[in-house]
Amino acid sequence: MKTTSMTAPAESSATAPLKRAMPHPDKGAAARPRFKSAQKRSPARLAVGGLVLVLAVAGGAFELRAIPVTATPIVRGTAVDAVYATGTVEPLDRVVVKARASGPVDLKVREGAHVHKGDLLAVIDSPALKHDLARGQADLWAASHQAGRKGPQLAMLKAQARSLEADLNTVRGERGRVLSLVTSGSSPQADLDRLVDRTAALEAQLAANAAQQDALEIDLTARALGSSAAVDSLAARLSDTEVRAPMDGVVLARFVEPGEVAMINTPLVKLGTTDNLILECAIDEADIGRVTIGKNVAISLYAFPQAVYRGEVFEILPDADREKKTFLTKVKLVDPPPGLRSGMTAEVNVVIEEKRDALLLPADAIDSAGSVFVIAGDRAQRRTPQLGIHDLLRVELLGGLAEGDQVIVGGAESLREGARVRVTVRSSGSTAPQPSAARAGMSL
């Protein structure tokens, strides 16, 4: 029987060496790294890459885009160094009339009324004072009659004195008669001695009576004078219920209405003279050292905003307002406008120094570092000029720029050195919108 054996196919000579050369995976030898097939990119990576590309393109476009700005030329004019302040129009002579008694008020005048010194402004009802005055007058009448020559107490003492004088005269006559008898020996010496003692006693009583009359007269006179003073005081207090004008002027304000109860020192009305109005300004203590009597003042009234008026400092109060740290400075208006009224507000520049024919740079063109952007062709260039005196709107240019150079006053916030710009020229005579305080950039 023929036996058949199954044998694995023989490996080719080309394959065998390759198979022997490949290490077994389980062996510790390091395996050769395999090549990875290409993977798909994630959507997030594609988005980031696109954003970077867009920003790069935008940045390039930004460098090419012209930035709109506003510029104004440097011109010549008057440079002003001034102290800025606000002020209120007030009468030079004014007074607040206050109550000197308490009670319901009956006002007799209204705002705008012209009054003369002594005119009745208000009446304060105080019936208790009227009753006190009547009682005081009664006491004065009684004291005056007691102190008079016909006063009963004084008349009684005088009658006693007359009686004593009569007794004294009788005793003196009797003493003379007894003296003759004693001399002749017809009467004893004891009778004469008794009459002498009686004479001395009556004379002492008469002297005491005179002293009592003097003391009573002094006391009654003092009582009468005291009653008179009390009546005068009550009359003065009662007269305080009639409030009268202390000066000629106009009623500027009323602080109470008819029927209201006023206490002592309650403000009732304000009087003032409207024909002599001044400005009262509060100058900061940091600037008051540069302000002196006679300094010129440029005044801008809110009621007349189109004009600048001239004034002059004529008084500086020596003491400061402790809370505001300011000094009250009074300014006389040289040519006040018609229609000027008490209570109007104004902004003032106290002119410290003026320079004619100076180069002027707009204050809003200067940044916090003292630099400006100047137009050079279609580019913006940063310069640092030399500056002099200034007010709130204009600055004196001492060097670094020239007349006619255009400086950027609007749109400089986003500028960089050498940035392309598109310029809109603003007239040198106009100013950009400013807060109200900047209206003080004015001179005479």
Q: Judge if 117 and 262 occupy the same domain.
A: yes
Per-residue pLDDT, 45: 60
- Asked if the structure places residue 31 within a domain, the reply is no
Domain identity same for 402 and 309: no
Give the integer Cα–Cα distance in Å for 127 and 100: 15
Residue-wise pLDDT for 28-43, tens only, equals 444 444 434 444 455 5
End-to-end CA, the chain = 144
Residue 334: partners with Cβ closer than 8 Å, 6 or more residues away: 309, 310, 311, 312
Verify that 250 and 394 share a domain, yes or no: no
Structure tokens at 12: 């080719």
Dist. CA 217–CA 209, nearest whole Å: 12
pLDDT band at 131 (very low <50, low <70, confident <90, very high): confident
Taking CA atoms, 8 is separated from 5, 11, 12, 214, in Å, by 10, 9, 12, 175
What pLDDT band is residue 97 in, cutting at 50, 70 and 90? Answer: very high
**385, 328: one domain:** no
413: which 2 tokens? 């916030």
Residue 11 has phi, psi (to 5 degrees) of: -75, 145
Would the pLDDT of 59 be above 70? Answer: no
pLDDT confidence tier of residue 430, bands split at 50, 70 and 90: low
- Residue 428 CB partners (closer than 8 Å, separation 6+): 72, 73, 74, 75, 360
What pLDDT is stored for residue 46 in this prediction?
54
Q: Model pTM?
A: 0.59
How far is the C-alpha of 97 from the C-alpha of 247, rounded, in Å?
A: 10
Distance from CA of residue 18 to its chain's centroid? Answer: 107
SS3 at position 27: coil
5 occurs within a structural domain: no
What average pLDDT does range 404-409 have in this prediction? 90
- Which of 120-124, 237-241, 283-287 has the lowest average pLDDT? 237-241
**Full residue range of the structural domain in which residue 367 is found:** 67-80+356-440
Q: Is there a domain that residue 261 lies in?
A: yes
112: domain CATH number?
2.40.50.100
Domain contains 59:
no
Give percent of the chain above pLDDT 70.
Answer: 82
The burial of 331, by beta-carbon neighbours within 10 Å (0-12 exposed, 13-18 middle, 19 or more buried), is given as buried
C-alpha 331/C-alpha 297 separation (Å) is: 8
User: Average pLDDT over the chain, rounded to whole?
Assistant: 81
Q: Coil, strand or helix: which one is 359? A: strand
List phi, psi (to 5°) of 191. -65, -40
Range of weakest confidence among 96-110, 167-181, 315-329: 167-181
Tell me, yes or no, whether 257 and 290 share the same domain.
no
Find the CATH number of the domain harbouring 308.
2.40.30.170
Question: What is the per-residue pLDDT across 339-371, written as a single tens digit (0 to 9) for each?
Answer: 999 999 999 999 998 888 899 999 888 988 899
Sequence-distant (≥ 6) Cβ neighbours of residue 364 within 8 angstroms: 393, 409, 410, 431, 432, 434
Are residues 182 and 235 part of one domain?
yes
Please tell me whether residues 105 and 143 are part of one structural domain: no
**pLDDT at residue 61, as a whole number:** 46
What's the confidence (pLDDT) of residue 20?
Answer: 39
Residue 36: predicted pLDDT: 44
Domain count, the chain: 4
Residue range 125-153: mean pLDDT, rounded: 82
